[in-house]
Every structure is written in C-alpha cells, then in structure tokens.
Amino acid sequence: MKIGNQAVMAAALAVACAGQVFMGPTLSGPPSAVAKMAHGAAFGVSEINLFAAPAFHPAISAIASMPALKMPHLDQGKDLPLQLASLTILPRQRLDWRRGRQFNSQELLDLSLAALRGGKTAVPPVYLSRFPAKLAKLRSPKLRKDIFIKTVLPLVLRANKEVRAERQRMLALLTRRDKQHDLSPNEQAFLVHLAAQYEVPKGDLDELRRRVDVIPASLALAQGAEESGWGTSRFARQGNAVFGQRTFRKGAGLVPLRRAQGQRYEVKAFNSLYTSVRSYVWNLNTHFAYQTLRSKRAALRDGGKPLSGYALTGALERYSERGQKYIKTIRVIMRANRLHDFDDVRLLPADTDASAGRQPS
C-alpha cells in the first residue's frame, strides 16, 4: 500500500496507566483497583493527539498532524497559531457514544457562550485532551476564560452524564428491590460493582445513593479555574492537572517549585484532561473529607431543589489549606463569571444538529 507525502501516519501504543487514589490538595490515600477505574484506567479512553503525551504518564494514543487554528489577541498584537489539543475518542462503555455526526474543535471554539447561557444552544460533544498550547499567551483575560470554559465544560458534562446513567439505573433497581421484586444476577452484580467503585461499605444502600450523583458544572468550573489559573498553570499545561489533586507516589506528578522543605507530595499528572475531571468527580463522591458535601447534595435532592454549586461550595473547607478563605474565593469566581448559568446546559447529541434545550439533573 502506497502512502503519499502528505498523508498522516499514525501509530498506536497501548500502555497501562497506574492508578492512585486522589484527594484534595491536602489529602491522600492508598492505591486500589477501584481507584484505577475511577481515574480513567478502566474506561478504555484512547486519543488522537496533536502533541506527544508527557513522558511521565503514557497513554493509549496515536500521533497525527493537523493545521493549527489561528486566534486573535495574542501577544504583540499578532495572529499566531493556536494549536488545539487532540480530540479524545469516546470510550466504549454503557452509553452509546458512537452514533451520529462528528464534531470538530473549531465548532467548540465558535460556540457562543451568550447563546449557551440563554438556553439557545447546547455544548458540542468535543473533548480536548489538553489545553490549547498558546492559552497562557492570550492577551485578553476574557478570551482566556472563555476558552477555558469551552474546554472544561464538555468534559464535566460528559463525566456527569456517565454518573447520571449509573444513578438512574441504580435508583430503578433499588426501587424494585424495595418493592420486594427479585433482581436478576446481572442486576445484583451491577449494584455490587457500583458499591465497590464508589467504595461504599457492603449493604449501605443509603450511602450508595448519596455517593452516586453529579457535581454541578458551576462548582467544577470554579474550582478548576482557581486550581489551574484558568488552564494556564504549569500543572495544567504539563500534567493536565485541572484541580490540583495531590499524590504521594513519587514520579506520578509534578513537583511544586515552592514545595516546603520536608514535603513529599506532587501534583498528580493525568494522561488527558478528561481523566483529571473524572478523578475530581470521583474524589468528591468518595472521600470522607467531603461527606458533608454529599449530605447537602442529598438534602437538596430530598427537598426537590436543584443542585446548587454555590451552596455545595460551603462544604469544601477541607479541599484546601486555606479553609474558609478558599470557599470565599470559589464563590467569588462563581459570581463574577456567572458560572451558575452552566449548571443546566446539556451536551448536543452527536446525531442531530444544534438545538436549544436544557439537560435534566
């Protein structure tokens, strides 16, 4: 078979990624098989990269070339190429990700956040594996923030969609069980597997209900913005670390330049932005430090109220050594950037054209 000079040559390397339990910036824990799955190792995520993955976290990837897009407002007033990170191939799991039309990164850049806030459009299902290379050099703070939101929001919606599917099936099975209906072996196995995935003690169905639930987009965006400097930090650029999660496994992340003497933690690195987002969601849903957050979320559910990222932020005192000051900062970011507008947006189905609408909780 002959290949022309301009043809793209791709090679896929399958390498298993080691798992680690991720805590908030001040917490850590032991590795486990369950943690590997929660952190993305069991989701079968493969990538088509425009950039080589960092050497300290190998991925299942293929290297390809693609013309760079151009963006205005770069340094020195010139239009320099803004290279977008790779699109992540959707994983083959419970949800059917494979049907319908394909979206591209330009459609994500062209997304109108004003229309999205007004419920006049939905989010293209485009999942970038890394932040754009020139993001930190954009002269306009508003443009940097907009690109950060357009990059991270689809990943948060995708993670929540997966958790929501788990939750809906779980609640349906528990309702049948409460009515004395027998569950099939496969249905029972699903509940056992789910409890293990979310590290729920055997038989504690109330705790399972509290843990398997979504994280409001406003909360994820605000924390990601603070922890990654709106996607411009060294940890975000070199390690896809959106939420500043720490690890005590040597070589599994990046060493902070100002780490205090005697400290051994690193900021955990990920093979893609999505694995960082998925790890963050799993972390808030499982770690004992965020039990209050899960209880508040369950109370909102029981009261028939929408999940409020602003309200849940009050339960994040242990996420940072800054405590209440950290909570205040996250709430300021939410208000100043109107991030609550994104709590009800939805992903655009891959088999239809753009349409207005909201995503159910």
Please state the separation of Cα 83 from the chain's center in Å: 21
In this predicted model, which residue has the larger pLDDT, 345 or 47?
Answer: 345
d(CA 307, CA 213): 10
359 domain residue, yes or no: no
d(CA 297, CA 122): 25
| Per-residue model confidence as pLDDT tens digits over 311-334 | 999 999 999 999 999 999 999 999
CATH number at residue 297: 1.10.530.10
Least confident of 93-97, 316-320, 342-346: 93-97
Which long-range CB contacts under 8 A does 55-59 form with residues at least 24 apart?
56/239, 56/251, 56/252, 56/253, 56/269, 57/17, 57/239, 57/252, 57/269, 57/270, 57/271, 58/13, 58/15, 58/17, 58/271, 59/15, 59/17, 59/271, 59/272
Residue 101 pLDDT level (bands cut at 50, 70, 90):
low
Strand partners, 254: 267
Cβ neighbours around 36 below 10 Å, total: 17
Mean pLDDT of the chain: 77
Q: Which pair of tokens denotes residue 276? A: 């960082």
d(CA 244, CA 319): 10
d(CA 99, CA 104): 15
Residue 277 pLDDT level (bands cut at 50, 70, 90):
very high
Q: Which pair of tokens denotes residue 207? A: 């705790």
Residue 265 pLDDT level (bands cut at 50, 70, 90):
confident
264 domain residue, yes or no: yes
Q: Strand 266-268 vs strand 246-247: parallel, antiparallel, or unpaired?
A: antiparallel
Cβ neighbours around 343 below 10 Å, total: 20
Q: What is the pTM of this model?
A: 0.72
358 domain residue, yes or no: no
5 domain residue, yes or no: no
Q: What average pLDDT score do residues 77-104 get?
A: 48
53 domain residue, yes or no: yes
325 domain residue, yes or no: yes
- SS3 of 252-317: the string is CEECCCCCCCCCCCEEECCCCHHHHHHHHHHHHHHCHHHHHHHHHHHHHHHCCCCCCHHHHHCCCH
Least confident of 18-27, 58-67, 103-112: 58-67
In total, how many domains does the chain have?
A: 1
In this predicted model, which residue has the larger pLDDT, 63 or 259?
Answer: 259
| Per-residue model confidence as pLDDT tens digits over 198-229 | 999 988 999 999 999 999 999 999 999 999 99
Percent of the chain with pLDDT over 70: 69
287 domain residue, yes or no: yes
Q: What is the pLDDT, as a whole number, of residue 299?
A: 97
Give the structural domain span for 328: 13-342
Q: Which pair of tokens denotes residue 343? A: 């709590």
d(CA 88, CA 127): 5
348 domain residue, yes or no: no
d(CA 125, CA 123): 6
